[in-house]
Structure 1
Amino acid sequence: MKISNPVLRGFDADPSMIRVGDTYYIANSTFEWFPGVRLHESTDLVHWKLLPSPLQSTELIDMRGNPASGGVWAPDLSYADGKFWLVYSDIKVVNGAFKDGINYLTCADQITGPWSTPIRLNGVGFDASLFHDDDGRKYLVQQTWDHREYHHAFNGITLTEFDTAMMKLKPETARTLWRGDEVKLIEGPHLYKKDGLYYLFAAEGGTVWTHREVVARSNSLEALSFEASPGNPFISNFDTPNSYLQKQGHGALVDTPSGEWYYASLCARPWHHATESATDPRGWCTLGRETSIQKVEWDEEGWPYVVGGHGGTRYVEAPVDAIVPDNAEDPALPRHIHDDFMSPTLDLEWNTLRVPFSKCMGEVGQGKLRLIGEGSLCNTFDLSLVARRWQAFNFDATTSVSFNPSTYQAMAGLTHYYNDQHWSWVYVTWDEERSCRIIEVAQNDRNHLTTYLRENAVVVPEHVQRIGLRTKVRTQTYTYEYSFDEGATWHEIPIVLDAKILSDDYVNETYGGFFTGAFVGLAAVDYSGYETVAEFTDFDYQEFEDAA
């Protein structure tokens, strides 16, 4: 049996992987998307099951108003003293000299919760992780942020002891363990102890094509006592531009019950247009940063290395002691997911922005998702949108909506969304000149809005109550369609949109927060303030390729 990378497809970045008994867990960043922190479990490192997220309420995290790609950066999951420990951030600033991020700690006896009221730790830097030493002492390990323009912003890795009696940090114990090397941008630290030595794993180079993971070690936790591995980088794709996986780096190490070792890393899979180079730049990652797993061994000098070379491989031998779940399906097969909205709660794959789905946004159940029109898709405070990740390069997504607006300021439909500056949608709205409902397509590209159909907008017949909307994503481009007869006949709207606008790499050209990925979802807008309701009766997501 082999691990097929990426094991988590579509925007599952910054993996923190642990093992408890014979079960592995991965926690991933969610940034401004709610609920906070994405969790998966596995018993074989091949098949992964999505679990309820730990940050389900605004008591645990309130991101209302957070900028795009703020919020939860690189959560750290650990297990000690018979319970799970979760360290996570809430980053309030993305661009500029500051981050204004606060790190929090919450605990739970079970991975499914309930999770405790969060403890505020510090704001020294992001990517904080908790190290449990074998003498019972605990330490927070984190990237250190320096706002001063005459210093490098990434000021090494700081270690601070955590007082378990008072459940607070001891700032007087803070010291710099390691500053990394000339590549800079050192972040994402995790500490491990093996054979009496402390091993520090950290990312460098930024989470782009130059991204990499490096290793250093020491026989103590004294300041600046760590030496770099002569085999660095531990993992990187900077010098493997033709590899299937790119951007590998930031991640976590785990051992198996039988003593094998594996490393979970973020990764990305770029595509490029036929008119573009495949290496400069390397392309567009519309699925965002995903999670891969590589096998690790240790050399005679006690340094870890990735089996097959530091570029990693697409297929990796699974653990010899893997426990394959009953009725396990090939996780690389295309997914087909249908939601008829019968449940009174949203499926785990659905996400909202910054705050939980609530009565202010609408309600779900009994075959309907009712969304109350709020702010525009540019709004970072009040927005009625539910969405799920793109998890394949080729897929169709279909819905049907009943919507009766009385103003052009009210809109509802099917959207592809990266952030508040980069999105498009097909939507139903009101045309006051023709006194009828119409279907329109619009795109927001770097906050420049283009409405495509205008006088050629599709008129919705008066007798039609439910309007079918469909999108077809085909790696480089995507289109929208509509139906007036319950999906029996579909009409393609002759607008072909470039998918690269929904990629990390495109967003990175003009904005510092490029850490998520493309989503497809349902939205209702009514910035007139009259709260026009849209009623969605189904959603279908069908992939058309082996995207693993």
Structure 2
Amino acid sequence: MIHNPILRGFHPDASILRVGDDYYIATSTFEWFPGVVIHHSKDLKHWRPLTRPLDRVSQLDLRGVPSSGGIWAPSLSYDNGIFYLCFTNVVGRKGVYKDLHNYVVTAPSISGPWSEPIYLNASGFDHFLFHDADGRKYLFNMQWDFRQGKSRFAGIVMQEFCPIEGRLIGDIKLVTKGTDLGVTEGPMVYRKDGYYYLLLAEGGTGPMHAATLMRATSIGGPYEVDPDYPLMTTRESPEHPLQNAGHGSLVETQHGEWYMVFICLRPLPDGSGLSPLGRETSLQKVVWTEDGWLRLAGGGKQPQLVIPDAELTPHPFALEPVRDDFDAPTLGVNWHSLRVPMEPSWLSLTERPGFLRLRGRESLMSLHHQSLVARRIESFDCEVRTCVDYEPEAFTQMAGLVLLYDDADHYYLRISRDEEHGKHLAIIVSDQGQYAELDAYVPIPKGQRVYLKATMRVERIQFSYSLDGSNWLPIGPDLYSGNLADSYRGKLSFSGAFAGVCVQDLRGTRLHADFDYWDYEELS
């Protein structure tokens, strides 16, 4: 059986593609660098993170982008031996405006090398490049309308793309305004049995989310709506374990089966509707009716938590080891930095072999040059551990273990030094941007390495420390994991919780810290 979600933790806006016997899923990364994660599978059950295609500033400059800005809803396609990846870089999202830029990059292989980006437009996000049978290509995206009294989500527009000229050509056409569910976005286009099918996300990415199918006999429409829309939703099922279901993407297997990947969210059991894991990717089998519409194979409109295996040869991948000893020349595919590449100017795996050295830079609230690397939290029950050598000289210098949603909401177990406590360990909490130091100061001898740990058990997070790596002591109170969630206190954000290590030097001397290892262990 295939258990949902198939991509756990922060993996939203999935776009699925099959080329031969290989399946690929691209997901959003927002302010995290490198941009876009592409997962690979051969059986739709076992997935591995394969590559992050936007890995240089010439392709993607995220400096200064707001939290939950950056990469929105990438889409994968393939034509004539070339992979295409469309992506949006949202550089501003204040007030009624969306300042964004849409691009496409190409590669002869899914692993690259990926080209420099071709600029497309800025009229709206969630764009998808469709390759028609006659060789013409069309870009679809939602249209953003900031005007007073107008629907912000003003429908789906289409324009032809010329690969020779590397630009959009011809007239822009509005192909649909969506249904009464509203918030129409996420267009994906497919051709089957003489119809062009348009799969849309509707209802917003929260509890009202849905996937809706339309079709037309011409690429430009008019598109008729599935009379039994939406195809999928949990909007009327608040107790369903996979909430916020919608934003689908379709794939046909080698054997003619059809599947849809989609966004979902597994909320905490406390009734808050929050989830520190963020929006995840699940899989649902779909079937075609005699009159040419899609239905969920399990019946109804709700996704299933467990579905039968696809008719594909099983192909498991090796499990990720719990420990990263920082012995490799580069960090693995699960590691990300915030907004900037992992460059030798602030990160080294060679200056002290077997250690990750980070040079302190800006604060955890910076939108520009942080010295932080982190990985997704993918389980409600997990533990992360590290060991750090660090000799701070002043209160402006800090290093340690961070659990982070964004610049406004994070928990930070850090080593620092000040006039009152000397070298010490303490916890910083940022709650909606409000800074607080918890009254739990532990003195640390000079020259002493410190072992740091964070344990998450569903709603509760507990920090611990050790001076010998064996005898652990708790520090600070239980902390609420819901602080690291999308809609905590009504905030409009879209990513998920990460765990990692970081260093700050707010007097500009770039004092470094050395991390000996990193453990990420799921406890259930």
- Give runs of aligned pairs for residues 61-460 of structure 1, distance below 5 A: 61-170=60-169, 172-222=170-220, 225-273=222-270, 278=271, 283-308=273-298, 309-320=300-311, 322-325=312-315, 328=317, 337-365=322-350, 366-434=353-421, 436-453=422-439, 456-460=440-444
- Give runs of aligned pairs for residues 509-520 of structure 1, distance below 5 A: 509-510=490-491, 512=492, 514-520=493-499
Instruction: Output the CA distance in 1 between the equivalents of 2:189 and 2:309.
Output: 24
Structure 2 counterpart SS, 1:131: strand
CA deviations over 1:465-495 (Å, ceiling 9, x no partner) = x11011111110101111111x121111132
Structure 1 counterpart SS, 2:487: helix
Aligned 8 A contact 2:455 2:463 in 1: yes
Instruction: Output the CA distance in 2 between the equivalents of 1:121 and 1:162.
Output: 9
From 503, 513, 523, give the equivalent of 1:524: 503
Instruction: Output the CA distance in 2 between the equivalents of 1:287 and 1:463.
Output: 36
Which is strand-richer, 1 or 2?
A: 2
Structure 2 counterpart SS, 1:302: coil
Instruction: Output the CA distance in 2 between the equivalents of 1:222 and 1:373.
Output: 53
CA deviations over 1:129-165 (Å, ceiling 9, x no partner) = 0001111110000011111122111110001011122
CA deviations over 1:51-72 (Å, ceiling 9, x no partner) = 1210010011010010001111
Fraction of identical pairs, as percent? 40
Instruction: Output the CA distance in 1 between the equivalents of 2:87 and 2:160.
Output: 17
Cα 1:494–1:354 change in 2 (3 A) is: closer
Instruction: Output the CA distance in 1 between the equivalents of 2:512 and 2:211.
Output: 48
Instruction: Output the CA distance in 1 between the equivalents of 2:34 and 2:447.
Output: 39
Structure 2 counterpart SS, 1:26: strand
Instruction: Output the CA distance in 2 between the equivalents of 1:115 and 1:25.
Output: 15
Aligned 8 A contact 1:66 1:92 in 2: yes
Instruction: Output the CA distance in 2 between the equivalents of 1:272 and 1:319.
Output: 31
What residue is the counterpart of 1:8 in the other structure? 7
Q: Which amino acid is the alignment partner of residue 515 of structure 2?
A: F
Q: Which amino acid is the alignment partner of residue 436 of structure 2?
A: T
Instruction: Output the CA distance in 1 between the equivalents of 2:476 and 2:165.
Output: 63
Structure 2 counterpart SS, 1:500: helix
CA deviations over 1:423-465 (Å, ceiling 9, x no partner) = 011110002124x200010100000011002xx510002352x
Q: Which amino acid is the alignment partner of residue 97 of structure 1?
A: V
CA deviations over 1:409-433 (Å, ceiling 9, x no partner) = 1000000000000001111000212
Structure 2 counterpart SS, 1:287: coil
Q: Are 1:481 and 2:464 counterparts?
A: yes
Instruction: Output the CA distance in 1 between the equivalents of 2:317 and 2:145.
Output: 48
Aligned 8 A contact 1:336 1:543 in 2: no
Q: Which amino acid is the alignment partner of residue 131 of structure 1?
A: F
What's the TM-score once normalised by structure 1's chain length? 0.93
Q: Which amino acid is the alignment partner of residue 439 of structure 1?
A: L
Deviation at 1:95, TM superposition (A): 3.0
Q: Which amino acid is the alignment partner of residue 465 of structure 2?
A: Y
Unaligned runs of 5+ in 1: none
Instruction: Output the CA distance in 2 between the equivalents of 1:222 and 1:369.
Output: 53
Instruction: Output the CA distance in 1 between the equivalents of 2:282 and 2:407.
Output: 28
Aligned 8 A contact 1:231 1:305 in 2: no
CA deviations over 1:65-99 (Å, ceiling 9, x no partner) = 10001111000100101110011111111231111
Q: Which amino acid is the alignment partner of residue 122 of structure 2?
A: G
Aligned 8 A contact 1:19 1:254 in 2: yes
Aligned 8 A contact 1:6 1:291 in 2: yes
Aligned 8 A contact 2:389 2:515 in 1: yes
Cα 1:402–1:291 change in 2 (3 A) is: same
Unaligned runs of 5+ in 2: none
What residue is the counterpart of 1:462 in the other structure? 446
Cα 1:64–1:463 change in 2 (3 A) is: closer
Deviation at 1:328, TM superposition (A): 4.9
Instruction: Output the CA distance in 1 between the equivalents of 2:172 and 2:310.
Output: 38
Instruction: Output the CA distance in 1 between the equivalents of 2:21 and 2:124.
Output: 33
Aligned 8 A contact 2:277 2:497 in 1: yes
What residue is the counterpart of 2:523 in the other structure? 544
Q: Which amino acid is the alignment partner of residue 474 of structure 2?
A: E
Structure 2 counterpart SS, 1:110: coil
Q: Which amino acid is the alignment partner of residue 395 of structure 1?
A: C
Aligned 8 A contact 2:8 2:277 in 1: yes
Q: Which amino acid is the alignment partner of residue 324 of structure 1?
A: P
CA deviations over 1:255-280 (Å, ceiling 9, x no partner) = 0111000000011100132xxxx3xx
Structure 2 counterpart SS, 1:357: coil
Deviation at 1:316, TM superposition (A): 1.2
Aligned 8 A contact 2:438 2:476 in 1: no
